C-alpha cells in the first residue's frame, strides 16, 4: 500500500517525536496502575519512571481511588492505554467516548494515548479484543477511524499489535498489515514484544523477522508481559505471570534493531509483591543499559547488530 495515501498527514509534527516529550525519556521503564496495588505503587513510585492506565477505568472515578490516581499522575508521566475504541469494529465510532478521553488526557497531562488493533463491539461491547481480517479493506477502515480519533484528540495516537488465536481471512501478513495501518493513518506504534512472541508460537512465524519489519520511526513505546504456555504450540496472553526468558531475549533484540524505547511491564492479575515487579523493572533497565541507554546508537551499528542476531 502506498503510504502517500495517509489520511492523517495533517497531524504530522503535533506529537510525532515521542523523544521530544520531556516527561517521557527513551530509556525509561513503567508499570500499570492497578487498584489492588495502588498504595504499594505509591510507596515505591520513585522506582518507576512512568505509569500506564486504561482511561475507561478512571474516567468517572472519584473518592479515595480518584485521589490516589491523581497523586500518581502528578508525580509520574502517564500513558493512557485504551480498551474500548474498537478501532476495527463494524459499529460507528463512539465519538462521545473519544471526546471524554481527550478531556481525560488533557486533565492528567498524558504523554501519549494508545489503543489496540482489534475490535470489541458488534452491536454491543464484547469485553474482549477480537482479531481482524488482515485485508486491504480493513487497512482503510481502521486507519480512517484512527485518523478521526487523532483529529478529535489533536495529536497522534499509538496502536498496538494484538495477540490473537484464530486467524481470520487474510490477504497479507500481520507485519505488513501493521505497517500499512500506521503509514496510512500517520499514527505511532505501540510494539508489544510479548504479543509478537505469543503470535509467533501460535501461528508459526519468526518473531525476529516481525520485529525487523516494524518501522522504527513509528515506534512510540514497548510492552512486555508474562503469559501462560498451555501446550508447546499454544500460548495464552494472560499478563498474569513473570516475563519468560525468550521474551526478555526478544526485548534485547528489539532494542538492538530499533533503539531503546520506553518500556511498560504489564501485570493484570495474580499480582506478586511490588518488590518482584520492581525486580522485573530492573531487568528492563539492565537491557536498556546494555543497548546503549539513551537509545542514541548509530543506525549503522543497529543494522549490523540486527543482521548478526
Domain 3-307: give its CATH code. Answer: 3.20.20.150
Residue 188 has φ and ψ, to the nearest 5°, of: -95, 175
Q: Buried (b) or exposed (e) across 10-49, using 16+ Cβ within 10 A? A: ebeeebbebbeeeebbbbbbbbbbbeebbebbeebeebbb
**In the chain, what are the domain boundaries?**
3-307
Q: How far is CA 244 from CA 235, 238, 288, in A?
A: 12, 13, 17
DSSP 8-class letter at 32 = E
pLDDT in tens, the chain (309 residues): 433 333 333 333 333 333 334 468 999 999 999 999 999 999 999 999 999 999 999 998 889 999 999 999 999 999 999 988 888 777 899 999 999 999 999 999 999 999 998 776 455 454 556 678 899 999 999 999 999 999 999 999 999 998 887 777 789 999 999 999 999 999 999 999 999 999 998 888 999 999 999 999 999 999 998 877 778 888 887 777 889 999 999 999 999 999 999 999 999 888 899 999 999 999 999 999 999 854 433 333 333 333 333
Q: Report d(CA 39, CA 125) in Å as an integer.
A: 31
pTM: 0.85
CA dihedral in degrees (37, 189, 88, 111; nearest 10)? 50
Amino acid at each position: 500500500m502506498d503510504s502517500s495515501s495517509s489520511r492523517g498527514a495533517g497531524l504530522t509534527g503535533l506529537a510525532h517525536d515521542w523523544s521530544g516529550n520531556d516527561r517521557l525519556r527513551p530509556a525509561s521503564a513503567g508499570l500499570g496502575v492497578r487498584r489492588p496495588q495502588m498504595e504499594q505503587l505509591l510507596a515505591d513510585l520513585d522506582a518507576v519512571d512512568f505509569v500506564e492506565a486504561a482511561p475507561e477505568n478512571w474516567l468517572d472515578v472519584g473518592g479515595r481511588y480518584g485521589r490516589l490516581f491523581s497523586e500518581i499522575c502528578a508525580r509520574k508521566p502517564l500513558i493512557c492505554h485504551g480498551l474500548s475504541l474498537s478501532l476495527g469494529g463494524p459499529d460507528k465510532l463512539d465519538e462521545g467516548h473519544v471526546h471524554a478521553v481527550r478531556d481525560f488526557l488533557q486533565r492528567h497531562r498524558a504523554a501519549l494515548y494508545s489503543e489496540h488493533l482489534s475490535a470489541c463491539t458488534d452491536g454491543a461491547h464484547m469485553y474482549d479484543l477480537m482479531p481482524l481480517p488482515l485485508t486491504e479493506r480493513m487497512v482503510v477502515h481502521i486507519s480512517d477511524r484512527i485518523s478521526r480519533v487523532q483529529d478529535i484528540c489533536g495529536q497522534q495516537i499509538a496502536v498496538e499489535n494484538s495477540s490473537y488465536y484464530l486467524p481470520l481471512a487474510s490477504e497479507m501478513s500481520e507485519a505488513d498489515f501493521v505497517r500499512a495501518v500506521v503509514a496510512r493513518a500517520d499514527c505511532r506504534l505501540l510494539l508489544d514484544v510479548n504479543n509478537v512472541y505469543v503470535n509467533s508460537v501460535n501461528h508459526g512465524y519468526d518473531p525476529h523477522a516481525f520485529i525487523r519489519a516494524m518501522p522504527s520511526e513509528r515506534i512510540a513505546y514497548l510492552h512486555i508481559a508474562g503469559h501462560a504456555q498451555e501446550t508447546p504450540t499454544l500460548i495464552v496472553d494472560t499478563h498474569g505471570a513473570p516475563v519468560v526468558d525468550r521474551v526478555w531475549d526478544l526485548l534485547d533484540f528489539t532494542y538492538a534493531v530499533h533503539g531503546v524505547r520506553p518500556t511498560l511491564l504489564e501485570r493484570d492479575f495474580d499480582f506478586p509483591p511490588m518488590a518482584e515487579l520492581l525486580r522485573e523493572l530492573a531487568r528492563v533497565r539492565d537491557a536498556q543499559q546494555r543497548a546503549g541507554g539513551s537509545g542514541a546508537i548509530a543506525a549503522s551499528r543497529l543494522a549490523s547488530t540486527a543482521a548478526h542476531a
